[in-house]
């Protein structure tokens, strides 16, 4: 079922090498030509809030100005949520509260802003958590509810437990690797639901995680993250191309069938798009 509906899943702090070695379900899709896999090089600083903004607006920190996790304000850019709404599409998110602060309301009010159902906002239907250990399983359950009840054209999902365990135990730990296995298991039940509902699915990460239990720098461990695409519109298989993180937003626009913002770079992955 081919449509112009997209689910974008950003798994916080998922390293490329750990994704390749431990996400067995996603690799199964790749091997059976049901998904494509790329390596993405994130922008720097390889920190969460700047890279949420980069992924969702297609602009680097030097343009969008969110240079650290301490920058608490609404985005000054046209995000995928804004572009989708301007094109008459519906939006939803199950995500960390920093995403709400970027696109709906800042600062985040834990009492009032946990659930946001307001068609006047860029993220029309939102469930936002504010504790890093909030279970990924609960988040995907909320995303499933949004997908079934609200049927958004663009659904953004952002689980945090991989990042949380990476900071607690480092990327070179059984806890980090086991958490990646756990997310892969959740995806093995969630992705078929998305496909049944006619969604194209993109899975990526904001940044990686180092053996020191941190991120923010310029190493491959900090910056190299996966990009899995499950779509009949995309040529399946493994690509050796190193993709800029700035390509994710225009790729989403391409799959949604909407115009990218003027600030976005032209999509340079067109050879992966099926005729």
pLDDT tens digit sequence for 111-169: 999 999 999 999 999 999 999 999 999 999 999 999 999 999 999 999 999 999 999 99
pLDDT tens digit sequence for 228-270: 999 999 999 999 889 999 999 999 999 999 999 999 999 987 5
CATH number at residue 197: 3.40.720.10
Q: Are 36 and 239 in contact (CB under 8 A)?
A: yes
Question: Residue 159 sits in which domain range?
Answer: 6-272
- Give 94's DSSP letter: E
Residue 247 lies in a domain: yes
* CA neighbor of 57 nearest in space, from 203, 265, 197, 239: 265
Residue 205 lies in a domain: yes
Residue 183 lies in a domain: yes
Residue 1 lies in a domain: no
Residue 232 lies in a domain: yes
What value does the CA radius of gyration of the chain take, rounded to a whole number of Å? Answer: 17
Q: Average pLDDT of the chain?
A: 96
Instruction: Please give the pLDDT value at position 271.
Output: 59
Residue 14 lies in a domain: yes
pTM above the 0.75 mark? yes
Task: Give the count of domains, the chain.
Answer: 1
User: Residue 136 and residue 230: Cα distance in Å, rounded?
Assistant: 21
Residue 84 lies in a domain: yes
pLDDT tens digit sequence for 45-96: 999 999 999 999 999 999 999 999 999 999 999 999 999 999 999 999 999 9
Residues, the chain = 275
* CA neighbor of 151 nearest in space, from 84, 231, 79, 90: 90
């Amino acid at each position: 079922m081919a449509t112009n509906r997209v689910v974008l899943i950003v798994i916080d702090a998922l390293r490329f090498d750990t994704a390749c070695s431990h996400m067995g379900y996603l690799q199964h899709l790749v091997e059976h030509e049901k998904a494509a896999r790329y390596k993405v090089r994130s922008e720097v600083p390889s920190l969460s809030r700047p890279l949420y903004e980069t992924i969702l607006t297609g602009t680097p920190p030097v343009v969008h100005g969110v240079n650290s996790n301490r920058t608490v304000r609404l985005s000054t850019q046209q995000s995928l949520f804004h572009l989708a709404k301007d094109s008459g599409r519906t939006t939803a998110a199950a995500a960390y509260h920093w995403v709400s602060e970027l696109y709906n309301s800042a600062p985040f009010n834990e009492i009032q802003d946990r659930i946001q159902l307001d068609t006047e906002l860029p993220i029309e239907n939102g469930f936002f958590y504010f504790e890093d250990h909030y279970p990924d399983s609960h988040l995907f359950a909320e995303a499933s509810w949004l997908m079934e009840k609200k049927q958004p054209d663009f659904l953004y999902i952002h689980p945090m437990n991989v990042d949380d365990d990476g900071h607690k135990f480092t990327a070179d730990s059984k806890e980090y690797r086991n958490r990646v296995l756990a997310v892969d298991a959740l995806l093995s039940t969630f992705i078929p639901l998305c496909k049944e509902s006619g969604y194209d699915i993109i899975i990526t990460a904001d940044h990686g995680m180092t053996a020191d239990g941190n991120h923010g720098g310029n190493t491959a461990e900090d910056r190299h993250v996966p990009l899995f695409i499950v779509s009949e519109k995309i040529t399946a298989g493994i690509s050796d191309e190193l993709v800029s993180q700035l390509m994710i937003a225009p790729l989403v626009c391409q799959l949604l069938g909407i115009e990218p913002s003027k600030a976005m770079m032209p999509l340079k992955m067109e050879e992966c798009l099926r005729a």
